[in-house]
Structure 1
Amino acid sequence: MPSKRPPRLTGALCAMLLTLGACANGDADKGGPQTPEVGYVTVAAAAVPITSELGGRTVAFETSEVRPQVTGLIRKRLFTEGSFVRAGQPLFQIDASLYRAAVAEAEANLASARANAMGAEEKAKRYEPLAKMQAIAEQDYTDALAAARVARAAVAQNAAALDTARINLRYTTITAPIGGRIGRSLATPGALVSATQADPLAIVQRLDPIYVDIQQSAAELTALRRSLANGRTQPGSTAVRLRLEDGSDYALPGTVEFSEVTVNEATGTVTLRARFPNPNGVLLPGMFVTALFEQAVEPDAMLVPQPAVQRDFDGSAFVYVVGKDNKAQRRKIVTERTAGANWVVSSGLKPGERVITQGLGNLRSGAAVRPVPAASAQKVGAAGGKAAKGE
């Protein structure tokens, strides 16, 4: 015959069972600790250019000072200040009266010398047969022959004097030595100029193309050459880009042409010269610019997104990588420069390793993680747990 339990005991047992069931359901809802999801990128060796940003100044491709080569008064200025002039174009006119007279005098002297030479040569010709017949003394013939030769030399001398006079007359018209843009006139009509004066009359500059003289530290250049010699880097491109003083970029690229072979003792720098086209005259001599060019290429460097790189208390860089069994590993790296949005890592990583770039907030070395590619949609940290539950 079944025993009857007291009603109070039966009610207590039911309440206990209901409480245990509710607790079990609550623990099931909360679940255990979840593995954090992190985004990663796979690093690979790549050729990364070493870009240099160096200051420089623009220099005219050709510069010529317009100077007088004879003495005289300036009668006319034959150009417009600030305009473009061509090579050989007349710029100033010096009073040519004295030089025209000098040419006329030299022409007369040459004509006189030629007449004397003709008479001396004829006399020598007449004396030659007479000397052979001993009708005259041999010395007379010798003297006549020498006189004819002196007369011919006088003709050459006077011809040279005439050429000099004509050159001086031509120099009274001062022409442009090169083509380019001419500056302001430093002499006015009525001014007395001479071939020995210190100041030029004007300056002509050729600005298309134009040079940019770039200053680089001798220590940096030496380190670069040593790196090229060791094979750690390869020669880069000779193409150069310019950034102007207002921060804008110059539209046309240039080319590095040569490097000086001496170091400036005052600044410790070496001058590199680049050549740029300047068809619109945007670049003017003396402008300060910034040159950007790839001096070398690091062939086996690795790029890591900047958010992945962190700094320790001593300033050293480190990243987290996805290690064995999907556990985060803290890895020290060596990086000295950036390339765009990435750090260039020279040591500390191997090709194929997965560097964590997202979900770094509470990450610790040795912690288990669930890695996904950084480009895919992710649920990182606590927010990810809520998203999984649809909260």
Structure 2
Amino acid sequence: MSSTFSRLVVGLALLVNLFVMLALVGCKPAAELPVRGPTEVGVTTLAVQSQTVTSELPGRTKAWLTAEIRPQVGGIVQKRLFTEGAEVKAGEVLYVIDPATYQAAFDKARASTAEAKAALNSARLKATRYAELVKVDAISQQDNEDAQASLQSNQAAYQAAQASEKSARIDLTYTRITSPIAGRVESSSVTPGALVTASQDSSLTTVQQLDPLYVDITQSSAEVLRLKREFAAGRLSKASDNEAKIVLRLEDGSQYKHAGRLQFSAASVSQSTGSVVLRAVVPNPDGLLLPGMYVRAVLEEAVDEQALLVPQRAVTRGHSGSSSVLLVVGGKVEQREVVLGRSVGNQWWVESGLAAGDQVIIEGGQKVSSGDSVSVVAAGSPVTAIPLTND
């Protein structure tokens, strides 16, 4: 009995001590949690800069000169003297038409000219002699007048014979069909032995001069009006007083290494497409460009001396399509909507909403909200550890 009682007393004593310790722990003041300081964000400070206004427009290449080769006299093709796809020179003979009948016609015309010349010489001598005889009344006035009229008739006959000879010579020359321009000749539509006719509808072949090349570019009339308004308002200035420079992007996305120049702009708008045609001239010394190729022409149109560019990663898009950026204003975060124009590399061209000197957050923006206090560092600087302070 006494041992059991002793154990109970010891147990009660331990229980009391436990309650006392718990009470003491509950009464101890709680440790204050550390307070985080302002979040550090990376910013870029906007500054105005000169920026060239460019437009990337669709276009098609077109040969500088194109000559469709057609016969000017009819006959049988005797020879084809060119290699299809080769370069030919201006005046180079491409085809030969059987010249036999034209040679005969020329020989006949030449003989007629000689005959008319002989008759003219005889009539001239007679007219000269009669003009002297009539002075001494050796012949009648009528005979002299007849001799003078015969001279004039023979002069006209001689001139007609000369014209016929020249025409026959031209026809004979046309039996050798030459290229009027230098360039690359395409495939032939006829072979030796084919019968051709003068000024036929179908061409024998085509010669195209490919260096330089034209590029016909289309630009919407709305864009033309916008640029004119910008020029009139003084917000833009012309990129050059001379012809504008263009750079081509090819169908595979590569950039063509030879820059071109804008030659002229059409004076009317297409009623079917609502666009204006611009024509540019592009060097093609390597023969890389061919007529009919689709290209994108980057055209330098104007210069904005007060352009503002903001990094694309600083811009967020809302569900409604609006764009906004986070700024640091007075040490606090502010969200502001902006109107953006075209992209320039990895930046957006700002049309409105921002000004020079604004600090735009481009690093750490996901950790802050509008109204938060922040400390700023230049974007790209190493981020330091955020200090913990106790209040």
TM-score by length of 2: 0.88
Is the Cα contact below 8 Å between 2:270 and 2:276 reproduced in 1? yes
Cα deviations across residues 7-44 of structure 1 (Å, max 9, x unaligned)?
x9xx98xx78x955xx5xx53xx532311111111111
Of 351, 368, 371, the match for 2:356 = 351
Quote the residue 1:385 is aligned against.
386
- For the residue of structure 2 that corresponds to 1:385, the secondary structure is coil
The separation in 2 between residues aligned to 1:171 and 1:364, in whole angstroms, is 85
Equivalenced residues, count: 366
Q: How does 1:40-189 map to 2 (within 5 A)?
A: 40-189=43-192
Is the Cα contact below 8 Å between 2:40 and 2:386 reproduced in 1? no
Cα deviations across residues 148-193 of structure 1 (Å, max 9, x unaligned)?
1221221111111111111111110001111111011111111111
- Asked whether 1:265 is paired with 2:266, we answer no
Cα deviations across residues 93-119 of structure 1 (Å, max 9, x unaligned)?
001011111111111111111111111
- For the residue of structure 1 that corresponds to 2:366, the secondary structure is coil
Cα deviations across residues 228-287 of structure 1 (Å, max 9, x unaligned)?
222222223622222222222222221111111122222222111121111221111111
Identity of paired residues, percent? 45
Residue 48 of structure 1 and its aligned partner are, at CA, apart by 2.0
Residue 369 of structure 1 and its aligned partner are, at CA, apart by 1.0
The separation in 1 between residues aligned to 2:262 and 2:83, in whole angstroms, is 35
Quote the residue 1:5 is aligned against.
none
> Which region of structure 1 is more displaced relative to structure 2, 140-149 or 45-54?
45-54
Report the AA paired with residue 288 of structure 2.
Answer: V
The separation in 1 between residues aligned to 2:253 and 2:300, in whole angstroms, is 20
Quote the residue 1:244 is aligned against.
250
- Asked whether 1:215 is paired with 2:221, we answer no
- For the residue of structure 2 that corresponds to 1:361, the secondary structure is helix
- For the residue of structure 2 that corresponds to 1:80, the secondary structure is coil
The separation in 1 between residues aligned to 2:199 and 2:260, in whole angstroms, is 40
Structure 1: state its 5+ residue gaps: 1-7
Residue 371 of structure 1 and its aligned partner are, at CA, apart by 1.0
Quote the residue 2:368 is aligned against.
363
Residue 367 of structure 1 and its aligned partner are, at CA, apart by 2.0
- For the residue of structure 1 that corresponds to 2:308, the secondary structure is strand
Report the AA paired with residue 331 of structure 1.
Answer: R
The separation in 1 between residues aligned to 2:361 and 2:83, in whole angstroms, is 68
Residue 54 of structure 1 and its aligned partner are, at CA, apart by 1.5
> Which region of structure 1 is more displaced relative to structure 2, 288-297 or 84-93?
288-297
The separation in 1 between residues aligned to 2:335 and 2:273, in whole angstroms, is 43
Q: How does 1:209-358 map to 2 (within 5 A)?
A: 209-236=212-239, 238-324=244-330, 326-358=331-363
TM-score by length of 1: 0.88
The separation in 1 between residues aligned to 2:257 and 2:314, in whole angstroms, is 35
Residue 313 of structure 1 and its aligned partner are, at CA, apart by 3.9
Report the AA paired with residue 98 of structure 1.
Answer: T
Report the AA paired with residue 220 of structure 1.
Answer: E
- For the residue of structure 1 that corresponds to 2:63, the secondary structure is strand
- For the residue of structure 1 that corresponds to 2:59, the secondary structure is strand
